[in-house]
Structures are given as C-alpha cells and as structure tokens.
Amino acid sequence: MIMLGREAIDREELAAQAGWHVRSLSNAGAYAQLTPVAGGRRGSKTLYDLEQAKALIRNLQQEKAVARMKKDRPQIVPEAIPSLPDYSSYTAHELRGLIRSWLEQQEEDGTVVGLTMEDLDAMGEQDLQDWVSGHELLTLEEARLAVPEERRPTPKTWESYYARTKVTSLPDPDRTFFGMDFWFRETIVRWDAEQRRRVGDNAGGHRPAGSKNRTWSPSESMQEIIALSEERRAQVNALYRDRPELTVDEIAGIVGVSPRAAFRYIQEVAGSDTSDREETENRRKAVREIVQAEPDISGGEVARRLGIGGTTANRYLNELGRENARPEDKAAERRAQAAKLLQESPDLTDEDLAARLGVTAETAAAYRRDPNEPTGPTKREEAEQRLARTRKLLAKNPDLEADELAAVLGLKPVTAEKYLREARGPEQP
C-alpha cells in the first residue's frame, strides 16, 4: 500500500540513482533497511517508499565517494532512514495540510479530484481520516481484500477481472509505478457498489466465494446499495434527457454523485443512440461553448465540469488554440494570504504557515522574507515547460527512453518516466 502523498521506487531505479549494482545492494542487505510498500511475493517486483529510498541513496552515494578516497578517509555517519508517517495520529489541522498539498499537486498534474478547498475546510477529523484512508493506493491483492468479505471474489476470479477475460472487469488503475498498477481504496469501494455486475443484469449476479448455489441472491444490505445506484442512474438519465442545458457537473450536484459517476450513467444512455464520433463532437462543442463564455478557463476546470480526464480536456483546448492551457496561477493569491497571516500572527513558524497555505516550508520561508517578492516560476509553470519540451523531443525520437530524457532535462529517471507517460498520452487498446 502506498500512503497518500507518497510515491514508490523499485530496486533497479534505486540502484541506478545510487550508482550501484542491484545484486551488490541486495547482497549487502541495503534493501532490508527500507519498508516494502508493494510486491515482494511470488517473485513479483518489490517497490519501496520513495522518501525512505532517497535517504538510503544519499548514504550509498556518500559511502562510494569515501571509498574512492586513497587516504584520509573521513568517518561516515549515515543518515537515518525516516519511518513512514502514521496518519492516524495526525490532528485535523495536519490532515488538512496533507490533503491540501496533495490536491494542489494533482491540480498541477492536470488530474481532476472531486474535492474543493471549501469542502476540505468543512470536514471534521473523522471525515478527514476517512478521506485519507480512501485515497491509499492499493496493489491488486490489497484491492481484492478491500471488497467486503461476503462479496469478495477468489484470487483466481480477481485475476480474471484484472485481465478482463470476463464480462466483469476492474476499473482502470489510478496510478502505475514501474509497471505495477494501483487503485485508490475509494475507487474499488465505488466500483463494487456502482459498477460491478448487478443482480438483474443479463449476465446474472455474483455468488460468494466457494458457493455452489447458482441461484444466489444478494444480501439485504447489498439490495439497498443496488436500489440506490439504480435510483441515481434513473435520476441522472432523466436530467440528461429532459434538461440538455445542464452540464455533467451540475447534474452530479443535483443527484449527489461524483461527476465521473454521472458521466458513466449518461454514457449508458448516450451509447444507445450516439456514436463515439458524435460523442466526441458533442464534447468539442461543449468545450467550445465554455471557452467562449470563459476564455481564461483552465483545463482542470473544463475536465471537472464535463466529467472527462484532464488530458482530454487539454487536448480539446489545444484544438481551439489554447496550447498548454493550465489552471490559473495562484501564487500571487498565496503571497497575499501569507502577508495577511503573518500580519495577524507574526509568531507563525514556517511549518505552520506552510500548512495553512498548502505549500512547502521553503516556499513559506520565502513568503516570510518578502511576501510581495515573486518566488520564481511556479511548479506548474516548470512542469508545463518540461512537458512541452518532452513532447518536442518525442516528436523527433518516438523511442525516447526515460534515462535519456532525465539527462536532457536534469531530472531523476522516475520523474522523467512520468513526463514521458503524460506526453505520450493513454495507450491505445
């Protein structure tokens, strides 16, 4: 499991960054200093927490540098490997800062998340804990265990869902690290409640693992979930047909579901009388109308309103001449907010200021030195510049590798791989 706000790294990438061979590190027991977050069984790839790995990499690089000295070798004091955070012990204030930082990172990456800052501020401590737990990234087996026991498939059946060899299939993974797919806990819970084959479908319903009763019917609690899902589906479809002026976001708000769920329900209706080409043209038309009304609208906001992916929204904006469209820069707003907070509470530490603004402690320190002084290009601007350059390099060399891109842009290979994935877009089936 990968915790909210954390990333992962595999053995090969860790060894490459440290300048060692994988086997040498394995024989020396270096990997044993880290906490595996995924894999490690039946010969599968093992992933480790990236922040822990960074400390180990620094130690290994220092050890190699000292070993190269012919004399007067200094005594090495290795850096302590940090332990994984325990979010269950976080206060509401700390949880909000954690979630706020994560949301802003998703916004910079063009990922749509159905949680506003206003919603975040209104959440209680238990709601915050539930939200953090719902956004833990689960491996394939951990995702299976997230399904209630009475509905949990066998490992073999779950593998068939993943391989899509049955009518039922798992949702697309939310993240992929080094070829290993992960799902948010919330994604699996919603899929199980809303998308998994329901009793009454042409294909029939599910049976508990190991049951030989081919006429199994759902429990009372499951029947309530099915009924609620069907009721919401009917409401969404009625609004879609009777009130065509409503956006997906508005329909979702009226019914009380996420924009993505509303969009799925609409697709079920549109699929019967609308071809893929017509659906694409309808989306383009909707984006064109939004841009005409709001010329400076961001790709993330378009994606949120229409219930589509951020990459798709930006592609439509690019077609309209909005190349590299991005969410508005909030740096000036944060600087003004920092000035106000420091005026009201001059004794605020950099960490407290960072938590309130949802920025790093270094940025908060810069705001303290001079709240009106720009801190240079925002992370979003730097990311978009790198992405634009990655696309140009890919146009010249479609077989560009992550390590080559990392050398050109001065990035770590794991970061370069992320830019390559985004620049290439979703793989065609």
pLDDT in tens, 252-268: 778 877 776 777 777 66
What is the pLDDT at residue 324?
A: 40
How confident is the model over 283-289, as a mean pLDDT?
80
Alpha helices in 82-219 (DSSP H): 92-108, 117-122, 125-134, 140-145, 155-163, 185-190
Mean pLDDT, residues 305-324: 68
Predicted local confidence at residue 53, as pLDDT: 92
> Which residues sit opposite 47 in a β-bridge?
10, 38
Scanning the structure block, which residue is given the tokens 């992370």?
A: 379
Torsion of CA 204, 209, 215, 220, to 10 degrees: -90
Q: What is the pLDDT of residues 343-365, one digit of tens each?
A: 888 888 877 777 777 667 677 77
Helix or strand or coil: residue 201?
strand
Q: For position 67, what pLDDT does the model report?
A: 79
pLDDT at 291 over 70: yes
Burial of residue 346 (CB within 10 Å: 0-12, 13-18, 19+) is exposed
Average pLDDT over residues 7-22: 89
pLDDT digit string (tens) for 183-241? 999 999 888 887 665 434 444 445 555 554 444 455 555 566 667 777 888 888 888 77
Confidence of residue 278 (pLDDT cuts 50, 70, 90): low
The pLDDT tens digits of the residues spanning 63-72 come to 888 877 777 7
Q: How far is CA 148 from CA 144, 151, 209, 214, 219, in A?
A: 9, 5, 11, 20, 12
What are the phi and psi torsion angles at 53 (to 5°)?
-65, -35
Q: How confident is the model at residue 328 (pLDDT cuts 50, 70, 90)?
A: very low
| DSSP assignment letter at 121 | H
CB 239 within 8 A of CB 251: yes
Pick from 183, 222, 6, 190: which is nearest to 101 by CA?
A: 6
DSSP H stretches of helix in 28-124: 50-67, 92-108, 117-122
Identify the pLDDT of residue 221: 55
What's the pLDDT tens digit per position in 42-78? 546 789 999 999 999 999 888 888 877 777 777 878 8
pTM: 0.47
Mean pLDDT (the chain) is: 77
The 47-49 sheet, strands edge to edge: 8-10, 47-49, 36-38
Residue 55 has a pLDDT of 92
Please state, in angstroms and rounded to a whole number, the distance separating the CA atoms of residues 35 and 135.
20
Report CA-CA distances (Å) from 251 to 257, 260, 303.
9, 11, 14
Q: Containing H/E element for 393?
A: helix 379-396
Average pLDDT, integer, range 266-276: 57
Greater confidence (203 vs 401) lies with 401
* 41 confidence band (pLDDT: 50, 70, 90): low
